[in-house]
Amino acid sequence: MAPPILKLDDIFLTFGGAPLLAGANLQVEPGDRICLVGRNGSGKSTLMKMAAGLVEPQSGEIFRHPSVTVRYLHQAPDFEGFDTVQAYAEAGLGPGDDPYRVAYLLQHLGLTGEEDPKRLSGGEARRAALARVLAPEPDILLLDEPTNHLDLPTIEWLEDELTRSRSALVLISHDRRFLEKVSTATVWLDRGQSRRLDRGFGHFEAWRDEVLEAEELEQHKLGKAIEREEHWLRYGVTARRKRNMRRLGDLQDMRTRYRGHKGPQGTVQAAAADAKESGKLVIEAEKITKAYADRTIVAPFSIRVHRGDRIGLVGPNGAGKTTLLKLLTGQIEPDSGTVKLGTNLEMATLDQKREDLNLDETLAHYLTDGRGDNLLVNGEQRHVTGYMKDFLFQPEQARTPIRELSGGERARLMLARILARATNLLILDEPTNDLDIETLDLLQEIVAGFAGTVILVSHDRDFLDRTVTSTIAPANPEAPDGRWIEYAGGYSDMMAQRKGAIEEKRKIEKAEKAKSSDAPAAPSEAPKAKGKLSYKQKFALENLPKEIARTEGEIAKHEEKMADPNLFSKDPNGFAKIAAELEKLREGLARMEEEWLELEMLREELEG
């Protein structure tokens, strides 16, 4: 094992009340790719700032190897004194660093370098800050929410860049797919303390559940031990006084441990308040268009949205996702074409810019619209402090100004407000920004189980795969030209269909090219002969569904074994073997599903 280049040991920090960090540890070795996970407010960003030397603990030790370079991604970068983004990014370089790397990074992050830092949007500021910390290729990279405000192509590029990087990484992110691809170790911050798993984020949730179950069992055993000791003290045969006093002291220690045990932070308890059912047809758009100056944002686009549909909009920043969303919901008028909204619509919107927040307003005033201390949720009167508890806010925060909340808490507050309103049409523009993974899980359940209709914009691939029934994306994602296509399924389904269509187009072009160069020209009046699937393709098309069903059965069996909470403690090697087999089965299933989809599309094409 290599010696650590950064070590935080037994870190303690409190701002009054319960400690934020109480004995937390973080150790970084060369080549580490650590994801730092935990609930909003668990101290992840604070611990990372300590690692960067920006915050000092009240006790504990911090060691940084004197020769290592460290770069920290600031959530709110300071552009003071810089006239251009390029100058800001180059200021992060050290002696001997390659200045051409700044130009390379800015280009891939969608910036020219000539932008005025004072006029950057939130997303552009995040990209400029990323260029500055990535450019010197430091020994340690500390990245706090690096994917916030980034579009999907940029997130995927960043994944590849970090995977190739020689820097040791410590990451905080809510993007599951990003963490699964980049991390090789996980540090979990929970109730002030840290636990480390030397495996990537893909294995974290099963391990976390196992740890919590073991902790609950230990607490149960402690309670039973206290009952036995209390019974002995009351009814046992009197022993020597010295022995009695020792056992009495042990009992007091056990009682202190039992009462002092602080369980895991609760989960958000929420569901969308249902309004009266909308009409069956929610939105009908017919050949709508929108352009600004010489740029076409939406070319003729038509869609029918029915009650119960859950539609995701994806695409690079600037492609026009929010514009298309506003066109479909009637917030702006199309240049041509028509949009008809269905009957009985009750719309609730979560805006990506959080523009609905007055930072001087209190939490209670915001949730109740200033109408006292109660609000109506699903037809029932709820006191505002009780409703706040459902979203992990403490009663004493009711009179707290919104400006004192973290980004994640503000996102949770806006979620609490829109879910309290009776609605049958949810409009969510970047709803996953700043949410912790547990709250994100809840939002996924709400969206997937919502009886009404949902239209959402997101760059979170895992969230899209788990929630939407169809995905709208630019026809040309590399250079959006206003043409949009609707695909069945989530993000992964869209990518598979797009890949299949591209490969099929190449096959047809190749066949046509070979035909035109080798075969004599056919008479113009001769009918075109339809192609046929080969024997191998027909066999695969008929048998792949059986193989897919068999593999799904195997996956279910492996998942059932993994669900055993004692498996890891009883047989760590067996747990690792089953996990590896499960991952291999899932990969094989994805390949078979993709092959079947491509063959089915080819069959339909050949049959007319």
Instruction: Identify whether 511 is part of a domain.
Output: no
Do residues 243 and 116 both lie within one domain? no
Reply yes or no on whether the pLDDT at 191 is more than 80. yes
Reply yes or no on whether the pLDDT at 19 is more than 90. no
Rounded percentage of the chain residues whose pLDDT exceeds 90: 37
Do residues 150 and 200 both lie within one domain? yes
Reply yes or no on whether the pLDDT at 236 is more than 50. yes
List the one residue out of 444, 475, 479 whose CA is nearest residue 458: 444
Do residues 319 and 195 both lie within one domain? no
Instruction: Identify whether 62 is part of a domain.
Output: yes
Residue pair 579/564 in contact (Cβ under 8 Å)? The answer is no
The dihedral built from the CA positions of residue 444, 445, 446 and 452, taken in this order, carries a sign that is: positive
pLDDT at 115: 93
pLDDT at 375: 87
Do residues 125 and 10 both lie within one domain? yes
Reply yes or no on whether the pLDDT at 226 is more than 50. yes
Average pLDDT over residues 271-300: 85
pLDDT at 30: 94
Sheet with 281-292: list strands edge to edge: 295-306, 281-292, 336-341
Residues 469 and 508: their CA atoms lie apart, in Å, by 30
Instruction: Identify whether 270 is part of a domain.
Output: no
Instruction: Identify whether 509 is part of a domain.
Output: no
605: Cα within 13 Å, side-chain hemisphere? 15
Residue 526 confidence class, pLDDT cut points 50, 70, 90: very low
Reading the block at residue 592, the tokens are 């078979």
Instruction: Identify whether 115 is part of a domain.
Output: yes
Do residues 15 and 39 both lie within one domain? yes
Do residues 552 and 570 both lie within one domain? yes
The dihedral built from the CA positions of residue 540, 543, 549 and 553, taken in this order, carries a sign that is: negative
**How buried is residue 474: exposed, middle or buried, by Cβ count under 10 Å (0-12/13-18/19+)?**
buried
Instruction: Give the CATH number of the domain where residue 552 resides.
Output: 1.10.287.380
Do residues 195 and 252 both lie within one domain? no
Instruction: Identify whether 514 is part of a domain.
Output: no
Reply yes or no on whether the pLDDT at 452 is more than 70. yes
Is 528 or 193 the better-scoring residue by pLDDT? 193
Do residues 72 and 153 both lie within one domain? yes
How many domains is the chain built from? Answer: 4
Do residues 381 and 457 both lie within one domain? yes
Reply yes or no on whether the pLDDT at 242 is more than 50. no
Residue pair 177/6 in contact (Cβ under 8 Å)? The answer is no
Q: In whole angstroms, how far apart are CA 39 and each of 189, 363, 456, 573?
A: 8, 20, 24, 30
How does pLDDT run across 325-372, given as a tens digit for each residue?
999 999 999 999 999 999 988 888 877 665 567 888 999 999 998 888
pLDDT at 607: 72
Reply yes or no on whether the pLDDT at 167 is more than 90. yes
Instruction: Identify whether 40 is part of a domain.
Output: yes
List the one residue out of 565, 586, 584 whose CA is nearest residue 575: 565
Is 92 or 242 the better-scoring residue by pLDDT? 92
pLDDT at 537: 77
Is 369 or 143 the better-scoring residue by pLDDT? 143
The dihedral built from the CA positions of residue 571, 572, 573 and 577, taken in this order, carries a sign that is: positive
The set of residues, in sequence order, having a beta carbon less than 8 Å from that of 403 and lying 6+ positions away, is: 359, 360
pLDDT at 234: 63
Residue pair 127/111 in contact (Cβ under 8 Å)? The answer is yes
pLDDT at 239: 45
Q: In whole angstroms, how far apart are CA 25 and each of 11, 43, 167, 179?
A: 6, 12, 20, 20
Residue 553 confidence class, pLDDT cut points 50, 70, 90: confident
pLDDT at 520: 54
Question: CA angle at residue 193 from 190 to 194, to 5 degrees?
Answer: 85
User: What is the rounded average pLDDT for all residues in the chain?
Assistant: 84
How does pLDDT run across 568-608, given as a tens digit for each residue?
778 877 877 888 788 888 888 888 888 888 887 887 777 75
Instruction: Give the CATH number of the domain where residue 29 resides.
Output: 3.40.50.300
Is 252 or 209 the better-scoring residue by pLDDT? 209
How does pLDDT run across 73-90, given as a tens digit for each residue?
987 889 999 999 999 999
Residue pair 447/454 in contact (Cβ under 8 Å)? The answer is yes
Residue pair 82/89 in contact (Cβ under 8 Å)? The answer is no
Reply yes or no on whether the pLDDT at 195 is more than 80. yes
Reply yes or no on whether the pLDDT at 266 is more than 70. no
Residue 67 confidence class, pLDDT cut points 50, 70, 90: very high
Residues 135 and 346: their CA atoms lie apart, in Å, by 48
Is 498 or 67 the better-scoring residue by pLDDT? 67
pLDDT at 565: 72
Average pLDDT over residues 482-497: 91
Residues 399 and 86: their CA atoms lie apart, in Å, by 43
Do residues 307 and 186 both lie within one domain? no
How does pLDDT run across 28-53, given as a tens digit for each residue?
999 999 999 988 778 899 999 999 99
| DSSP one-letter code for 118 | G
The set of residues, in sequence order, having a beta carbon less than 8 Å from that of 238 and lying 6+ positions away, is: 244
Reply yes or no on whether the pLDDT at 523 is more than 50. no
What residues pair up with 274 in beta bridges, in sequence order? 423
Instruction: Identify whether 392 is part of a domain.
Output: yes
pLDDT at 252: 67
Q: In whole angstroms, how far apart are CA 385 and each of 198, 223, 372?
A: 40, 32, 12
Do residues 224 and 132 both lie within one domain? no
Do residues 289 and 421 both lie within one domain? yes
Residues 451 and 174: their CA atoms lie apart, in Å, by 26
Average pLDDT over residues 309-315: 93
Task: Print the domain residue range for 583.
Answer: 530-606
Q: In whole angstroms, how far apart are CA 234 and each of 222, 239, 350, 585?
A: 19, 12, 60, 59
Residues 461 and 492: their CA atoms lie apart, in Å, by 8
pLDDT at 241: 46
The set of residues, in sequence order, having a beta carbon less than 8 Å from that of 29 and lying 6+ positions away, is: 1, 2, 3, 4, 5, 168
Residue 294 confidence class, pLDDT cut points 50, 70, 90: confident
Residues 224 and 522: their CA atoms lie apart, in Å, by 90
Determine how many CB atoms are found less than 10 A away from the CB of residue 390.
Answer: 18
Rounded percentage of the chain residues whose pLDDT exceeds 70: 87
pLDDT at 59: 94
Reading the block at residue 7, the tokens are 């070590």
